[in-house]
Chain A
């Protein structure tokens, strides 16, 4: 079988049949910014941060299959400018006060902002009214920081459970917890579940672990998420 290739920013990247562009890129150590993608779960293609230009068309690389001969632009000024705007929208849609967030320094949303040299939020803020669910003895769910990536939804399915779901559309989109009260404490989540550790932001946190590593010494404090491997270190 002859090896098949795509080209990303001039670099030849091999792939095997059935791989997405994201999977081929990741295997070759090429970083494509992403937030709703995780290698362990079925891609859902909602955040659009991973948008690349394939033969002249913009496509989500986490869902689009690699096809022999594709010419792909990834790390371009225009795509990164678009990604910055998408990231700014995520920041103003929720309530992201990094100085008071336990996840700061280990947060992928923040890390993508750093990677894109995002210095402001550009858009007016929503200051949406969202709740904090601290009912669970070991887990905290802060809706203010949720970006609706649905990784917790997919991870919970992989756990053989169905703890999380995304409900509503547009402005009214929100994360729901599958329990009689809607509270995390009354759901069947357990702290050892994948779903408890998958969140790319500070929306789902394990209590009592938040400041184990001091602010300033965390993953993205000194290392860009595009450095080998870092982009795939999700959750804690």
Chain B
């Protein structure tokens, strides 16, 4: 089919649970694949966004690289979607926000139980952590949000089929969960 709808996806400070839930579309992935093609995504391993119709962002921003990736998506995607609790409110990673960053790193890499070779990772290739984890709407404009931890496959299906059909996407009561 010509002119398939182009979709990009990424996981920032997330656990890939939203991507796994997306894959729970199971056999519905087959008809979906007739309508959409994937660009930058862990599914394709394409590393940078081409211009896309829809960008699905899992996870909040916890480091400098997350911010760059998020901006790349915003610059290339006509419709940018916050997928899952972490992208919407920071989610579980944001629970570190009540602990100063230095204390987090100390606990994880120096003083924690069972730590061997205590050392705070400092390879120049590692993106620098932000002081706090932020939801993505604090960094770029977001067009739609799909709540849930993760949103169910039915949420993805309803949202994408609405969009593809040219309808304003909507989620009924049973599809809205914050957990």
Contacts and interface: CB of A to CB of B under 8 A. Distances in A.
Interface of A: 91-92, 95-101, 104-105, 110, 113-114, 117-122, 124-125, 127, 129-130, 215, 221-222, 224
6 contacts: A96-B89, A96-B178, A99-B178, A117-B176, A120-B82, A222-B174
Nearest to B90: A125
Binding site secondary structure of chain A:
loop
A120 B178 contact: no
B44 interface: no
Contacts of B135: 121, 125
Interface residues of B, number: 30
Binding site secondary structure of chain B:
mixed
Given A98-B149, A121-B135, A127 B98 contact: yes
| Residue from the set B142, B170, B173, B179 with the largest chain A CB neighbour count within 10 Å | B179
B89 A121 contact: yes
B55 interface: no
Interface in B127-159: 132, 134-135, 137-138, 142, 144-147, 149
Given A121-B89, A122-B137, 4 more contacts: A97-B89, A117-B173, A119-B171, A120-B142
Nearest to A132: B98
Nearest 3 interchain pairs by C-beta = A99-B149, A98-B178, A120-B145
A208 to B, nearest CB: 20
A222 B94 CA distance: 28
